Amino acid sequence: ARMGRTVVELFYDVVSPYSWLGFEVLCRYQHVWNIDLRLRPAFLSGIMQATGNKPPAMLPKRGEYMLKDIKRMAKYYEVPLRTSENDLQRIISTSNLGAMRFITAVGMTQPQYLEPLSREFWISFWSQVSHSRNVYNSLHSIIFLQIARQAGLSPELAQKALEMISSPAVKNRLKETTEEAIKYGAFGMPAVVTHVNGEPQLFFGSDRLELLGSIIGE
C-alpha cells in the first residue's frame, strides 16, 4: 500500500446495482480516508454458481423488498440508479460476461480508465431507460465502444480492448479475480475486502461501509 494506506479491494460486477452503490461510496471516500482502493472486476454468476447462492428474485418477497431498498439507497447516496418492475428478471436473463471481460481488458492495459468505464457501464444498464436495458445481451460490439468513448477512451484503445475480450489472458484474469473473491469468502457482490494487521476481512454488500470505516480507524 502507498504510504501506509490501508488496502481496500472492491470485487464487483456491473450487472449488480448494489455493486454500483458500494463503488460510488468507496470512490468518494478514497479521497477522504487513508485507503488504497483497488477495483477488482469479477464475474457475479461465477461466484453465485460456486457458492450455491440464488438471485433475490427467486424469493418474490425478497425481490420486492430489494427494488424498494435500491431506490431508497440510490436516493440517499445520490446515485442515478433507476429501477423498474422487470429489473429482477432482467438481471437473471442478462449475460454480462462480455462486458466484464471488456472491463477487465481495459483494467489490464489502461487501469486509469477502470473507474470511469465501470461507471459508464452501470449508467448504461441502470440509468438510461431507452436503449440500454439489454445492453449486455447485445451482440453489437459498437455498444461497448460507445460506452468506452463516454468513459474517455480513444477509439484506438477501445478497439484494442474489444479485440482482447476473447484472449486467454483476459479470460484467465477475470477467472482468477473471481476465484480470489471466492477464497476471501464472497458469495455475492459487492464484496469488499480490507486488510487489517495482515488479515483480510470481508464485508458483503453496500450497507456495511460505515463498519468498514470503523474497523480501519476512519
Instruction: Give me the active site residues, please.
Output: 16
Torsion on CA atoms 111, 38, 53, 180, rounded to nearest 10: 90
Pairing between β-strand 191-196 and β-strand 6-12 as defined by DSSP bridges: antiparallel
Phi and psi of 39, rounded to 5°? -85, 125
Sequence-distant (6+) residues with CB within 8 A of 171 are 101
Is residue 31 classed as helix, strand or coil in its secondary structure?
A: coil
Pairing between β-strand 35-41 and β-strand 199-204 as defined by DSSP bridges: unpaired
Q: Report whether 181 contacts 42 (CB < 8 A).
A: yes
